[in-house]
Structure 1
C-alpha cells in the first residue's frame, strides 16, 4: 500500500504512534463531539489495514469526513423524505403499479408501530431510511415486488462510503458484526473503516493527494485512467469522455475508449485481444505494468509536447437525488483538497 501522496508503502517505515491519537484530536475541529472516540476509530482502521498514521493520511481522512458529513456518523439529509417518495414512485412506474396503490399500501403499520408513510415523512438520515426500506422489503409483499432484495440506499456513514464496496471489502473488518454489514456502514466505526479502505488501502503513484480524493468519488484509479484516456484521445484524434472507465463493464461490446485504442493498434504493435486484456485491468495497479499502458505513454512522450500527465481529475458530473445543483468529481476533489491543505497547515507541515 502506498501513502497518500508518494509511492512509498503506507506502513513502512513505522510511524511513531505514541502521540497519534492526540494529534488526530488536535487536527479535528474543536466543535466535533467525542473527538477521542473518532481518533480511536480512525486508529483502529489504520491498524487493521496496516496504514501508517502519517500526517498526510490522517489529514486525508479528516478532509473527506469533514466534506462528506461534517463529522456526523449519520448526517441528516435535507428533504430526504421527499427523495424517498420519489424513488418509490419511480420504481412503481417502472413496473406499472399506480402510485395511489403504493401510497395506500404504505399506510399499514410497520414493525415500530408507525405506518411506513409516517416514517417516510419524518425520515432525516440515510440510516433511518435504510431501516425503513429493510422493513418494507421484508414485511410487505409490495415491497418485494418494488425492490426485491435491493435496498435503494447506496451510501452511508461519516465518509459516505458505498455499501456495496463495504460488502466487497469486508475481509479484515476488525469488529463483530451484530446485525448486517449494511448497518455497520452507518456506524461511526464502520463508516470510518470502510471509508479509509476506499481512500487509502490501494497503491498509487500520484504526486498529489487530490487525485486520491477524486478516486474516492469516482472509483479506484479513475484519475490515472482518465489520464490514459486523455493520452489515447490526443494520439488517436478521437474525443473521449475522461471518466476513468476503460471498458463497458458488464458488457462484451467495446466501448469508446477501447475502440479508440484499437485505432492505435499498428502504431503500438498490439492486437485487439491484447488491448482488451490490458483494459480489463483498469481497476487495478497492474494496469500500469501492461505493455499497452507503457506503449501509449511512450508514444505520447515522443509525439506530444509538453509531456502528458499521468493523472488528471476525471470529467464526471455527479448524479444523485441528494444533489440539487451541478457538481462534478473535480469540484469534490478540490473541496476536499482545500480541507486537506488546511489540515497540513494546522499540523505545521505546510
Structure 2
C-alpha cells in the first residue's frame, strides 16, 4: 500500500501511478482534483469511537531492542539490526520508546514490506515498460527507437533493457533511472532530470519527504538521501518521522495510520469537509484535500465553504487563506475551523467528530483489489494492537 503523498514537489511526470502500492506521504491538499501523486477518491468516510488512553511506559533502549527481537518473525534477516534501527529512530527523534510507539512503527513496516528492507514488487519490469512506452508515445517517439536506445550497455555490463526486464524492487528501478537519465542518449528527453521512483524502503516513505526532513538524521549519508531511503536504517528513520513528526490531537493512533497513507492531517481535514458538507448541503469527497494545488481555481470543498461565508463571517479571501493552511497544525486553530465546527455541532445537536478516516479509493497498476485508505489504516491498527498485546506478555 502506498501513501498518497501531499507534498507539492513530490511528483514527477512518469510512473507516478507505480508508487501507490506501497505507501508515504506528508502534508495535505484539495478535494475534487487531488495533488499529483495522490489516488483517485471515492468511497465513504468511516469514524471510530475514541479509545481510552493507552498506558505509555518508556523502556530502556537495550531492553526494548531485546523485546523487539522476540516479536519479529523468525525469517526476518538481522532481527537485531531491525530492533536497533527502530529504537534509534524513536530515541533520536525525541519520541518515547514505549510499547505503543514501537508497535506503531512495527505495524507500518509489517504492512508495507513484511520486514524486507527492499521489498520485491511482482511484475515491476512489465509495469516499467508500460510507463516508459506511454511516456515515449506522448513525445511521439516510436517504441522501437526507445528499445534501441535502451539496448545499449549500462554501467553494470548489462543493457538497460535487460535490467528493466529483470526488475524486482523499487531500489533497482531507481538506480536504473539514475543511470538512464545521465547516460542514455534520450534519457533526459524522456525523463528530464527527475527520477520517477518516488517511494521506497521498508516503510515505503516518500523520497521528497525524506529530502525535506534531513535535520537530525543520525547516520552518515553515503551517496544521497534517496539512497538512504532504500536502506533499512534510512527507511525506518524517515518513516518514523512521517508517522510521528507532526502534532495531531487525534483520539486514536488509527488516524495517524490513515494520515500515513493519505497525507498529514487528512483525517482532521476529512472531518472538516464532513462538517462543511452537512452545513452547505453539498456532497464532498471526504479526502482531506481542502484546496487545489494544480490550479488557482477553487475546488469543490472551497466552493462549498464559500456558501457559508456570511455564516462564518469571513470573506472569500480570508477563507482561501485559511484553507491554504490545511496541511499544517495551525489550521485547527484558525477562526474558519472553529466557526464551521461550532455551526455543525449546533445544527447536529451534538459534537461532530474532529477526525474521520478519509474516503479514498486507492488505484494503481500494482493494486489489483478494492483497497482504500480506511482499509489500510484499520489493517495497520489491527497489527499495532496485536503487537501491544504481545509486548505485554514479554517480561
TM-score normalised to structure 1 length: 0.94
Counterpart of 1:320 in structure 2 is 364
| Kept in 1: contact 2:57–2:99 (CA 8 A) | no
| Kept in 1: contact 2:57–2:98 (CA 8 A) | no
- Ranges in structure 2 where 5+ consecutive residues have no aligned partner: 1-49
Counterpart of 2:262 in structure 1 is 218
Counterpart of 1:332 in structure 2 is 376
Distance in 1 of aligned mates of 2:233 and 2:364: 25
SS of aligned partner of 1:19: helix
The CA deviation string for residues 148-202 of structure 1, in whole angstroms up to 9 with x for no partner, is: 1111111100000011111111222111111111111000000001100001111
Cα RMSD (Å) of the superposition? Answer: 2.0
| Kept in 1: contact 2:357–2:374 (CA 8 A) | yes
Distance in 1 of aligned mates of 2:283 and 2:156: 54
Deviation at residue 100 of structure 1 after TM alignment = 1.4
Match of 1:46 among 82, 90, 93: 90
Distance in 1 of aligned mates of 2:71 and 2:341: 40
Which shifted more, 23-32 or 56-65? 23-32
Mark the CA change 1:16 to 1:113 in structure 2 (over 3 Å): closer, same or farther.
Answer: closer
Counterpart of 1:72 in structure 2 is 116
Deviation at residue 50 of structure 1 after TM alignment = 0.8
Aligned: 1:160 with 2:204: yes
| Kept in 2: contact 1:51–1:201 (CA 8 A) | no
SS of aligned partner of 2:186: helix
Aligned: 1:110 with 2:157: no
The CA deviation string for residues 14-68 of structure 1, in whole angstroms up to 9 with x for no partner, is: 6554512112222322332211101111122112211111111101100000000
Counterpart of 1:140 in structure 2 is 184
| Kept in 1: contact 2:87–2:102 (CA 8 A) | no
Deviation at residue 325 of structure 1 after TM alignment = 2.5
Structure with the bigger RCO (C-alpha within 8 Å, sep 6+) is 2
- State the aligned residue count: 343
- Ranges in structure 1 where 5+ consecutive residues have no aligned partner: none
- Mapping of 1:26-65 within 5 angstroms? 26-65=70-109
Distance in 2 of aligned mates of 1:14 and 1:121: 48
Deviation at residue 256 of structure 1 after TM alignment = 0.9
Match of 1:190 among 234, 237, 244: 234
Which shifted more, 285-294 or 24-33? 24-33
SS of aligned partner of 2:327: coil
Mark the CA change 1:143 to 1:30 in structure 2 (over 3 Å): closer, same or farther.
Answer: same
| Kept in 1: contact 2:271–2:354 (CA 8 A) | yes
Distance in 1 of aligned mates of 2:214 and 2:297: 31
- Mapping of 1:148-297 within 5 angstroms? 148-297=192-341
The CA deviation string for residues 308-346 of structure 1, in whole angstroms up to 9 with x for no partner, is: 211111111112232222211111111111111110111
Deviation at residue 216 of structure 1 after TM alignment = 0.3
Counterpart of 2:63 in structure 1 is 19
Aligned: 1:344 with 2:392: no
Distance in 1 of aligned mates of 2:377 and 2:369: 16
Distance in 2 of aligned mates of 1:54 and 1:202: 18
Bigger proportion of residues as helix: 1
